[in-house]
Amino acid sequence: MKLDIVVNAKKYSLEINPTIRLLDILRDHLNLTGAKEGCGEGECGACTVIMNGKTVNSCLVMASQINGKNIQTIEGLQNNGKMDRLQEKFVEHGAIQCGFCTPGMIMSSKALLRENSDPDDEAIKRGIEGNLCRCSGYVQILNAVKDASKTK
């Protein structure tokens, strides 16, 4: 089927098997490998991207569902080669270890901050409840998000 989508502010017109997953479109067709597959069933959040302003697990979204949608991935967060402040804060606070959860974690945090510009700890934890990190105890991630919310 023909899909017209906008990914990271770029328009794409794709002829695609409608049953494949958004994750596969991003990774295999658009070569955007930032979103990762950690579980394939929406439990780990490593494949999180933002679709029409809302985070989704791209492993659970079928191609046919994205027609006409606007999608933002981790690769689309930078602005003219400059990192988004959330990305900067993740780096600065040591919120990144193996990095496999990072793209999804940052996208969830991004969506959270768009809805709630001054989240407390509980709100941040709820905001990333669907993003698992095995390397940390989430402390640096929390600090990074908190800091990013303050330095606008």
Partner 1 sequence: MSNVICPVTMDELKSALGKTTPLSKVLAGGTDLMVSMRQSRLKPDTIVDLSGIDALRFIEHDSSIIRIGALTTFSELEKSEILRKHAFCLARAASQVGSVQIRNMGTLGGNVAHASPAGDCITPLTMLDATVVVMDKNGYHSEKKVEDLILSPNKTSLAHDEVIIEFKFKGLNTNWRSDFIKVGSRSTVTISKINIALACNVKQNFIEDIKIALGAVGVKPFRDYETEQRFREKNVAYDSDCLFASEIRKRVETSIPGRSSLSYKRHAVEGIAIDIFHKIIAP
Partner 2 sequence: MIEKNRYIGQTYPIQDAVAKACGEQIYAGDLKFPKMLHAKILFSTVAHAHIRSIDASKAEKLEGVVKIFTHLNSPEKKFNSYHFFAGQELKDDERLFTDKVRFVGDRVAGIVAETEDVAEKALGLIEVEYDELPAAVSTTQALCGDGPDIHEGGNLIDEKELNVGRANDIIKEAPLTFKDRVSTQKVHHGAMEPHVCLARYEMPDEMTLYTPCQSAFAVRNVVAQFLGINYCSLRVVKTTMGGSFGGKQHVILELIAAFLAKETKSNVRLCYSRTNAILSTITGTAMEMEMESAVNEEGMIVASKISAVVDSGSYLANSIDLSIAAGKKLFRTYNIPNLNYKAKTVYTNTPTSGGFRGWGAPQITTGFELHVESMARKLGMDSISFRLKNLVKPYDEERLNRFSLGNARIRECLTLGAEAFDWSKKRKKNRKKGRYARGTGLACGGHVNGFYGKIQDCSSMILKMNEDGSFILNTGSHDQGCGTVRSFMQIVAEVLDVDMQKVKVLEADTQRSPYDTGTFASRVTYVSGKCAYNVSLKIRNQILETAAKYFNRSKTYMAIKDGMVHVKGEPEKQIDFAHLATLSQSVYENEIIALETYSNVSNPGAYAAHFAEVEVDTQTGLVRVIDYLASHDVGKAINRGMVEAQIQGGVQMGIGYALTEEIKTDSAGYPKSKNFSDYHLINAPDMPTVKTLTLEFGEDDGPFGAKSVGEIAIVPVIAAVMNAVNDALGTNLCHAPLTPEKIIAAIH
Using CA atoms, how far apart are residues 94 and 89, in angstroms rounded to an integer? 8
Q: Mask: binding to partner 2, 123-152, rule CB under 8 A, as x and -? A: -xxx-xxxxxxxxxxxxxxx----------
How large is the greatest C-alpha to C-alpha distance in the chain, in angstroms? Answer: 44
Comparison of 37 and 92: residue with beta carbon closer to partner 1:
37
Residue 116 interaction partner, one of partner 2, partner 1, none, beta carbon < 5-8 Å per kind: none
> How far from each other are the two terminal CA atoms of the chain, in whole angstroms?
42
Comparison of 67 and 136: residue with beta carbon closer to partner 1:
67
Query: Phi and psi (nearest 5°) for 71?
Result: -120, 135
Residue 37 interaction partner, one of partner 2, partner 1, none, beta carbon < 5-8 Å per kind: partner 2
Does residue number 92 form part of the binding site for partner 2 (CB under 8 A)? Answer: yes
**Amino acid symbol at 82:** K
Comparison of 4 and 99: residue with beta carbon closer to partner 2:
99
- Which of 78, 117, 118, 150 lies at the binding interface for partner 2 (CB under 8 A)? 78
Shortest reach from residue 16's CB to partner 2, in Å: 13
CA-based R_g, the chain, Å: 15
CA angle 110, 115, 119 (to 5 degrees): 80
Structure tokens at 34: 């930032």
Which residues of this protein are in contact with partner 1, per CB under 8 A?
A: 1, 17-19, 21, 40-43, 45, 48, 51, 54-57, 59-62, 64-65, 67, 108, 111-112, 126-127, 129-131
**Residue in 23, 40, 24, 43 with CA at minimum distance from that of residue 131:** 43
